[in-house]
Amino acid sequence: MAATEQNSEAWLLDWLTASYLPRFNQKGMLRVVRNAGLGAWLSGVDGPLLNSARENAMRHRERMERQGVQALICGHEGYPSGLAQIPDAPWVLFVKGRVEALAGPRPVAVVGTRKASSLGRSAVGGLMGGMANLDWTLISGMADGIDAKAHRSALERGVPTVACLAHGLHAVHPRSNVALAHRILDAGGCWVSEYTMGTSPNRYTFPARNRIIAGLSQAVVVVESNDPGGSLITARLAQDYDRRVFALSPVWCSEGMKGNARLIQEHVAELLHFPEDLSKAMGWGSQREIKADVVEKLPVMQALDPYVARSFDELVAILEWGRNPTRRALLEGEMQGWVRAWPGDRFTRSVRWTRPPSEF
C-alpha cells in the first residue's frame, strides 16, 4: 500500500485531502487509487481543486485533534493485526478512546437484533457469565437491542469494550446510546470507525461496518437474529475471514431467532447450548489446564487443520493408531471442544495452534 512510501502523518493528510475530492469514495475510484498509489494519483489532480481539498483536510485534522480522535493506517504500527488480515480492510481506522483496547486478549463480537426480546437480553448476561473467569475483549456495534445490552453487560463485568460505529466519530448513533458510549470511553474502551468526522450513517455504512466487527474478532456470537438481519451479514463475513462463528440455540417458537436457525442449518455457525460452550470451543481454559492436558492431545492437534477438514480415513493414516483409538481420540476431542466434526465424517481443529510442541 502507498502508506509505506511516506510517514504516517503525511500519508494521512494526503488521504484526507483525497477524501475531499470528487468521486474519491466511489468503489471503482478507490481501486484505481490503490493501484496507482495515493501520492501519484494526487499529483494528477488540478491545482486549484487540490489546494481547496488540502485546506479542508488540514481543518479536518485539527478537528480530530480537538476531539481526541486518532488515525491508524493499515500497514503501519498500531493498526489491529486481525483487521489487517482481511482482504477489504479499511485504509484508515479512526479511534476515539484507549487504542490499546484493540490489542486486548480474546476479542469476541457479540451481535444481534435491534428488536431484542427479553429472552435475548437475558441470554447476553448468561453468555458473559460463561466467560467470567477469562480475560477477554467485547466487540459490538453500539446499535439498540443486543449490541447495547452486550456493551452494558461488559461494562458491568469490567470487560474491555470496543464499539464499531457506522459513521464518523464526531457523534453517536442512535442518540439514546450516547451515555453508554461515553461510559465505554471512561472505562478504558474505545470507539472505532472507517468514516471521517462528519460522516452520517446511512443504509450502506451499517453493512460495511459489519466487516470491521468481524475482522477485529477471533469469534462472532449471534445471540438473537431474525432472517434476514444485519447479524447474518456479520456472521457470513466472519466465516469468509476464517473466524469462528457461533449462534445461541434457537427457540422454535421465537420469530426473532430464525436467523440463528439458518446460520446453524447452513453450517455457518456452531451451536451454543450453554454459556460455557464458547470458551470450551475456543480452547480458552486457563493456561495451566491447557499446558497440563496438551501433551496427550498433541498428536491429534498436529494431525488436524483449523481450516481444511480431513477425513477420518486420512487421520487414521496420519496417526497410525488404528481406527478404534483414532475414533475415540476424535470423540473425546469433540466433547472437550478441541475438535470440530463436519458432515461426511470429516474433522477440523477448533483451536488455532500457534506454539510449537517444544514450548510445552
Hey, where are the domains in the chain? 7-66, 99-274, 287-359
pLDDT of residue 188: 94
What value does the mean pLDDT of the chain take? 84
pLDDT for residue 352 is more than 90: no
Neighbours of 291 (CB within 10 A): 12
Q: How far is CA 142 from CA 55, 173, 268, 283, in A?
A: 33, 8, 24, 28
**pLDDT interval class at 255 (50, 70, 90):** low
pLDDT for residue 274 is more than 60: yes
b/e sequence 88-115, b meaning 16+ C-beta within 10 Å: ebbbbbbbbbbeebbebebbbbbbbbbe
Q: How far apart are CA 8 and CA 5, in angstroms?
A: 9
For CA atoms 84, 86, 88, 93, the dihedral sign is negative
**Across 263-276, average pLDDT:** 83
- How is residue 133 annotated by DSSP? T
Q: Is 66 helix (H, G, I), strand (E, B) or coil?
A: helix
pLDDT of residue 63: 96
Task: Tell me whether the CATH fold assigned to 99-274 matches the one assigned to 287-359.
Answer: no
pTM of the model: 0.75
**Across 136-163, average pLDDT:** 94
Q: Is 162 helix (H, G, I), strand (E, B) or coil?
A: strand
pLDDT for residue 150 is more than 90: yes
b/e sequence 316-333, b meaning 16+ C-beta within 10 Å: beebebeeeebeebbeeb
pLDDT of residue 241: 93
pLDDT of residue 26: 63
- CATH architecture of the domain 99-274 equals 3-Layer(aba) Sandwich (3.40)
Q: pLDDT for 203-239, tens place per residue?
A: 899 999 999 999 999 999 999 887 777 789 999 999 9
**pLDDT interval class at 252 (50, 70, 90):** very low
From the options 1.10.10.10, 3.50.50.60, 3.30.499.10, 3.20.20.70, give the CATH code of 287-359.
1.10.10.10
Q: pLDDT for 54-95, tens place per residue?
A: 999 999 999 999 999 999 998 888 899 999 999 989 999 999
pLDDT of residue 285: 67
pLDDT for residue 253 is more than 70: no
- All three cell numbers of 342, joined, read 463436519
Percentages (nearest 5) of helix, strand, coil residues in the chain = 50, 15, 35
pLDDT for residue 302 is more than 90: no
